[in-house]
Amino acid sequence: MKKITFFLMMAWACGQAAYAAPTLSAKESAAAHDLAKNNGCLSCHALDEKIVGPAYSKIAAKYSDDKDAATSLAQSIRNGSQGKWGRIPMPSHGNMSNEDIHLLARWILTIQK
């Protein structure tokens, strides 16, 4: 019985690790913050408070159990979104490179309140 309990606990822990927020180096975090600032993201979003769009910490919390969160967020950043956080749509940011969009999405998922 102890072996089964241990096995189940280890399986659960491995599953939790799969949903852990991505980690970024200090250089990547600084670059992502600059991307957010230079592309107007911080006009509508803040780290821990709602402006026009939700706080980045709320976005990270909402997607904390989603293993595909970075891809989903990148798609929303590229194409824009509507109805996920209220009636005000987020405009598309198709002018950004895929690399920059994915870095920004991963950075958002690291923001904690």
Q: Report yes or no on 40 lying in a domain.
A: yes
Domain with residue 32: its CATH number is 1.10.760.10
Tally the domains of the chain: 1
- Please choose, from the candidates 69, 38, 58, the residue with its C-alpha nearest in 3D space to the C-alpha of residue 112: 58
Residue 108: per-residue pLDDT? 98
Backbone angles phi, psi at 64, to 5 degrees: -65, -25
Q: Report yes or no on 113 lying in a domain.
A: no
More confident residue, 13 or 90: 90
For residue 23, give the DSSP letter.
-
Distance CA 42, CA 24 (A): 19
* Neighbour count for residue 59 (Cβ, 10 Å): 21
Which range of residues forms the domain containing residue 99? Answer: 2-108
In this model, does residue 7 exceed pLDDT 70? no
Residue 20: per-residue pLDDT? 62
Write the CB contacts of 99 (distance below 8 Å, at least 6 apart in sequence).
none
Contact 59, 73 (CB under 8 A): yes
Computed over every residue of the chain, the mean pLDDT equals 87
Contact 105, 77 (CB under 8 A): yes
pLDDT band at 21 (very low <50, low <70, confident <90, very high): low
